[in-house]
Copies of this chain bind each other. A is one copy, B any other.
Amino acid sequence: MNTKICSLLGIEFPLFAFSHCRDVVAAVSRAGGMGVLGAVTLTPAQLEEELRWIDDHVDGKPYGIDVIVPNKIEGKGQAFDAERMVAALPEDHRRFTAELLQRHDVDASDLDTLRRDYLNFGVNLQEGGAGELLDVAFAHPIKLIANALGVPPASMIARAKAEGVPVAALVGTPDHARRQIDAGVDILVAAGGEAGGHCGEVATMVLVPEVVRAVAEAGSEVPVLAAGGIVTGAQMAAAMAMGAAGAWCGSVWLTTAEAETAPAVKEKMLAATSRDTVRSKSRTGKPSRQLRSVWTDAWESGEGPQPLPMPLQSLITEPALAKINKLADGGHEGARTLATYWVGQGVGLMTASRGAGQVVQDFKEDFATAYERLHRLMEG
């Protein structure tokens, strides 16, 4: 397609793949879309390794990275103190998690030790930590940098502009969109409430035209990508009929052959219906949509503690869930019932594992079929 955003980024088809898996990123970019590597949990050294691998496997096609630099966060502005952060975790939350694991025959005695492996997330959420990631990223030929939560700091936008790299930002309301435009972002990602991961309340079908309208009313020409529930080319065509410049997808890559999603979770996702997700604060402290499981049901039951603010809640949940998903892959029954990961309602339409490049091809064909439907209505 010969659109503004395709020219801006040098891509053929405006389908974006947010993924933590470098193989997915490279495969999507090679297939004509744009892979965007989720970098928030990586150390600078890990990011360097991932981007070097992508450079070697992307055939010179454009790709991007995704970070989280929220405007308001627990402990922002203070020097990051990992020990202090782990020590600040309330006993209630540790105990609730441990008891939940034990009830399903999962040993919980090593959770505090495991927590120490999950501190990068907290580090990267600080402006200083994100800065080190950016140093690494800008040393590679990235063509897009996205901020997944809130308005990026002025320093990040200024630096990206100096490097000639467009900045994208996720928004869940027209108000967010106006603030992002004022801050100078180049691309908006309107993420509906059906999206996996952090999401707002307004559904994609309403949010996309609302954000498109807000952009026009602001006299801006910033392109708007649609996110939330989109796992097929027909849905992408639908979003673009409403004025979106393309589709930003996360969930659909999770069940691809290349994805590093825990096999037990992949299997659950392929079997899940669109009703098998839940939007909950229990994983990160902010509302995010996840595959429903015994784990999410327990946190949503009202019997546990209230989620901690970001990033503390992640230090409670991520080590436990990493352990659970690993055990589930090994066939541990209790762990299988607990296993979960972020995914959107589109999971109901994801019923077979494919290669990531094949997903891009399927999107293109399905997009064309959807267009033909409207073409027959209008011209037939």
Task: Tell yes or no: A374 within 8 A of B by CB.
Answer: yes
Task: Tell yes or no: A371 within 8 A of B by CB.
Answer: yes
Contact of A205 with B209 in the complex, beta carbons under 8 Å: no
User: Within the assembled complex, what's the spacing in Å between the Cα atoms of A3 and B206?
Assistant: 26
How near does chain B come to A196, taking the closest CB pair, in angstroms? Answer: 11
Contact of A206 among B202, B240, B241, B274 (CB under 8 A): B274
Task: Tell yes or no: A242 within 8 A of B by CB.
Answer: yes
Closest B residue to A239 using CB positions: B238
Closest B residue to A351 using CB positions: B213
- If A235-B205, A235-B209, A235-B242 touch, whether A375 touches B375 (CB-CB below 8 Å) is yes
Contact of A209 among B207, B232, B344 (CB under 8 A): B232
Q: Which of A168-195 contact B (CB under 8 A)?
A: 173-175, 192-194
Closest B residue to A14 using CB positions: B377
In the complex, the count of this chain's copies comes to: 2
Contact of B237 with A380 in the complex, beta carbons under 8 Å: no
Task: Tell yes or no: A228 within 8 A of B by CB.
Answer: yes
Task: Tell yes or no: A1 within 8 A of B by CB.
Answer: yes
A239: B residues at CB distance < 8 A: 205, 238
Contact of B348 with A210 in the complex, beta carbons under 8 Å: yes
Closest B residue to A380 using CB positions: B2
- If A241-B241, A241-B370, A371-B241 touch, whether A203 touches B193 (CB-CB below 8 Å) is yes
- If A213-B349, A373-B241, A377-B3 touch, whether A205 touches B205 (CB-CB below 8 Å) is yes
A-to-B contact residues, CB < 8 Å:
1-3, 173-175, 192-194, 200-207, 209-210, 213, 228-230, 232, 234-235, 237-243, 273-275, 344-346, 348-349, 368, 370-371, 373-375, 377-378, 380
